[in-house]
Amino acid sequence: MDIPLTIKDAGAALRAGQVTSVQLTEALLDKIRALNPTLGAFITVTEDAARAAAADADAKFAAGIDVGPLQGIPFAAKDIIATKDAPTTANGLILDPAWGAGYDATVITRLREAGMVLLGKLVLNEFAIGMPDESKPFPMPQNPWDLERSASGSSSGTGIAIAAGLALGGLGTDTGGSTRGPSSFNGLTGIKQTFGRVSKFGCVPLGYSLDHINPMARSAYDCALMLQVMAGFDPKDPTTVDVPVPDYVASLSGNVAGMRIGLPMSYFFDHPELDPAVRDLFAFRYEHVALVGYDPHPRIPAPIAV
C-alpha cells in the first residue's frame, strides 16, 4: 500500500475510508522491521500496544466518533519520555529501570487521548547530550539520506524515523538544539515551542529550566496539529503557564503575503566554508551576496525509504 507521509494526508485517507489505522500501523511496523537494523531509529517497538490502539481508533471511526485530526495516526517518542507500555532508558545504562515505569508522561497521555498510536521509543544521544556511543548496546543512528552522514542529535531517532517514513510524527526534546538539529539534518519540521507551553512531566531532565518537549513531523501543519494537543497547563509541571492555547492550525493558511522574513547573510551565506551546493539550494537574492549557480529545481538525493 502507498503509505501517506504526512499526518494531514493520513487523516484525510482515514476519514475517506481509503485506509484503516490498523492497516497504516501494520505497514509502518513492517517498515520498522525492515529498516531499523540499518537506520537505528527505534530502541523499543511496542507492536501489541500499537495494534490495540489502532484497532480502538478504527472502532471509534466505525461508531462515528472522531476525537480530532490525530485519531489513528502512528507516532513515536524519544526514549527520554515515560510511557506506561515500554521502559525508558534515556539511551543509557545507569537510569533506574523503575524510572517512569507504569505511567505516561503528560504529553503521551494527551496524544493518546487525541487518538494517536504509539509505535515505540526512539534512539537519542545518551541523556540527551554528547555523541552516539558504539560501546553501548543501543542502535547507532544513521542519516537516511546518506548513511555516511550524521543524523544530528540528540533527538536523532525521531528525525530518522520520520524522514524514512517509519512514523508520521514524533516527539523530540530540545535543551540546546536537540530538536532543531535532527530536524535540519533529516529534512523535517521541528518546533521548539515557548518554554512553559508544554509540560515536561515524565521527561528525564537535562537542564530543567531549559528543557522542551517538541513535535517533529514532515510539515509545519503536522507539527501544529500535535502541538495543539500537547500544549497547555499541567499541575504536575510547575513551569507550565496557565494561559489559553491558541489555534495553531488556523494561522497556517499558506498565504505569506505581507510577511517579512529576516535573512542573516553575514557569517552564513558569505562564509568561506559554506558548501556551494547548500548555498545554491536557497532561492534568495541579496544585493551583497551573489548566489552563483542557483538552480530553481535542484536535485536532492532520496532517503533510504519513505
Are both 124 and 49 inside the same structural domain? yes
Per-residue pLDDT at 275? 87
Are both 15 and 157 inside the same structural domain? yes
Per-residue pLDDT at 269? 78
Rg (CA), the chain: 19
For residue 184, the domain's CATH number is: 3.90.1300.10
* The Cα angle at residue 77 between residues 71 and 82, in degrees rounded to 5: 105
Are both 201 and 147 inside the same structural domain? yes
The pTM of the full predicted model, rounded to 2 decimals, is 0.90
**Residues identified as active-site:** 78, 154, 178
Residue 165 included in any domain: yes
The tens digit of pLDDT for each residue in 148-163 reads 999 999 999 999 999 9
Range of the domain at 286: 261-298
Are both 206 and 281 inside the same structural domain? no
Residue 240 included in any domain: no
Domain count, the chain: 2
**CB of 195 within 8 A of CB of 164?**
no
Are both 205 and 274 inside the same structural domain? no
The tens digit of pLDDT for each residue in 35-93 reads 999 999 999 999 999 999 999 999 999 999 999 999 999 999 999 999 999 999 999 99
Are both 66 and 110 inside the same structural domain? yes
